[in-house]
Structure 1
């Protein structure tokens, strides 16, 4: 089986996970305030987790005969996550809300990947994506708790476009 839809979603994830790692890194660098000592090292954990997911997704894509994006130009051309210039003017709450937005997008993209890999009978990819989606939902819960909100992982719908 060629797993064409799975390959497309996996490559979309490569672009978006690469961009999201940069968003987290920017949060890490430009963060200030009373929560700095707690949140600054937490961003390292988030970056490590996203980079681990990126590596796993790209390696799975290669395993099923795909070719992951691998340049900054490709990531920028294919990501659905936007850029923002770094600034020290954003509050911690604004930074955490931006991370929630990115994680919610990844949650939806992982959901799309679970759907298409299931349709194609790609059980290994589906299993990997289910685990990644669970990790993303846990981070949404924790960031939402920091913002004084409920997780709402089952109530937010985001449209996902596959650019590949």
Structure 2
């Protein structure tokens, strides 16, 4: 077994990087969804949601960077074209979403898809003793579960 520079099985690190690139692509779609609903939200809840969506896309931008840096840490190259992101997208694409409940449902649906990918990565990273990826997935999962709970409460 060949180890990479951080002591992980090089072959498994390459495999987990592929999964992280899939997460990266889907996170970029989620990020764009957040930008879109932030820009296009209308109605009586505009002020509250406009601010909340900005908070979420600012956080998502940080997470995208962290995922890409983890891929680099594992010795691989992060995807960086919209063509690659589109090919891998499982997160629904929101186009011209301006109604409050539709925007919130899009976010919940997007996070639900991200959670599926993250749980799969968490299982695989646990098997290969990749604590760096494990910690990242655990943090993402915990935050996103709470966000889903809050938005579902908002939806009633």
For residues 131 and 97 of structure 2, the distance between their equivalents in structure 1, rounded to whole angstroms, comes to 43
Gaps of 5+ in 1: 149-164
Does residue 133 of structure 1 match 2:145? no
For residues 80 and 131 of structure 1, the distance between their equivalents in structure 2, rounded to whole angstroms, comes to 21
- What is residue 86 of structure 1 aligned with on the other side? 96
User: TM-score, normalized by length of structure 1?
Assistant: 0.84
Gaps of 5+ in 2: 1-8
Q: What are the equivalent positions in structure 2 for 1:9-158 lying under 5 Å apart? A: 9-88=19-98, 91-148=99-156
More helix by share: 2
Does the aligned pair in 2 maintain the 1:6–1:120 contact within 8 Å?
A: no
In the TM superposition, residue 80 of structure 1 has moved relative to its aligned partner by 1.6
In the TM superposition, residue 98 of structure 1 has moved relative to its aligned partner by 1.1
For residues 97 and 60 of structure 2, the distance between their equivalents in structure 1, rounded to whole angstroms, comes to 23
User: TM-score, normalized by length of structure 2?
Assistant: 0.88
For residues 87 and 131 of structure 1, the distance between their equivalents in structure 2, rounded to whole angstroms, comes to 28
- What is residue 7 of structure 1 aligned with on the other side? 17
**CA RMSD, 1 decimal:** 1.3
Does the aligned pair in 2 maintain the 1:5–1:117 contact within 8 Å?
A: no
For residues 47 and 87 of structure 1, the distance between their equivalents in structure 2, rounded to whole angstroms, comes to 15
What do residues 72-118 of structure 1 show as CA deviations (whole Å, max 9, x unaligned)?
22111222223343154xx3112111110001111121111110111
Aligned residues: 146
Superposed structure 1 runs of 4+ greater than 3 Å apart:
none
